[in-house]
Structure 1
Amino acid sequence: MSARILIIEDEALVAMELKFALLDLGYQVVGLAADAPTALDLVRESEVDLALVDIHLSDGPTGIELGRELGQERGITVLFMTANPGMVRDGVAGAVGVLPKPTDDYAIQSAVEYALQRRKGEPTLYAPPELQVFN
């Protein structure tokens, strides 16, 4: 079964581009959320393996705390995608890392595969160069 991915992104065009890229790669997109409350509702309704989380959402800069909650409290693998990677430079508990935006389909594919390998406990030799991995 393919991984179930939640996209948490307030820019509709970016969210749709991510959705189509992930669907083309064979992943299941369980939903799109533009703010933290919607994301939490989707998590309660669906099983989620990986959440792609922007930092600045439509309800403010809530992505960091949301990512921490999803990763630490709900056991979801979290990968931040943001134009502001410096905001999470020191890492966020429960998150794999941050992929700076803008990015391309190959970087997304590589980062998602890396995060899912770590979720499964599989050995990961190299992180994609675009991905800033948290310790």
Structure 2
Amino acid sequence: MLFSRFTRSIQTILIVEDEPLVAFDNELRVVDAGYRVAATVDTEAEAIAVLEREAIDLVLADINLSRGGSGIEVARVASGRNIPVLYATGACPNQAQQYAIGCLIKPYSAVELVKAIEAVDRLIRGKTPKTMPKALNLYSPAG
């Protein structure tokens, strides 16, 4: 095939989100875009357990989680395992940029979510993102 799509670095995503409707919508959108969702969880402990047992290519994490948990702690653990993290939250955390590749600010559309994941994928592969959603803030090219 002359015009084939690129091979994605991101295949499997862990969704960490405490708002059920947002979690469901995120899962639906990334699956529709051809990604596999390893799990959708709403607590820090569940997210860390998934990171320990699954091969994850990207963590999509809210900051404030159920039971007082923190997406920043999830990002710290993921970062220690060289798993890129994209925060998906209402306000990007300045104090935790070292643990993530970027932040997608809520509310975002389904198109913005998929384009943000594609932009992160391109960065992981050492390429410049083709399109950048307005709601996406990138922290560094390497994460």
Tell me the TM-score range normalised by the shorter chain: 0.7 to 0.9
Distance of 1:48 and 1:42 partners within structure 2:
9
Aligned-residue offset at 1:104: 0.3
What corresponds to 1:13 in structure 2? Answer: 21
Question: Is 1:128 paired with 2:133?
Answer: yes
Instruction: Provide structure 2 residue ranges, at least 5 long, that are not aligned to the other structure.
Output: 1-7
Deviates more, 1:120-129 or 1:51-60: 120-129
Match of 2:45 among 37, 47, 65: 37
What corresponds to 1:97 in structure 2? Answer: 102
Secondary structure of 1:92's match?
Answer: helix
Identity %: 31
| TM-score scaled by length of structure 2 | 0.83
Instruction: Provide structure 1 residue ranges, at least 5 long, that are not aligned to the other structure.
Output: none
What corresponds to 1:51 in structure 2? Answer: 59
Distance of 2:53 and 2:34 partners within structure 1:
21
Distance of 1:14 and 1:61 partners within structure 2:
17
Match of 1:23 among 23, 26, 31: 31
Aligned-residue offset at 1:122: 2.9
Question: Is 1:77 paired with 2:84?
Answer: yes
| TM-score scaled by length of structure 1 | 0.88
Distance of 2:114 and 2:131 partners within structure 1:
14
Larger radius of gyration: 2
Match of 1:110 among 92, 107, 115: 115
Let me know the Cα RMSD of the aligned residues. Answer: 1.8
Contact 1:5–1:27 under 8 Å retained in 2: yes
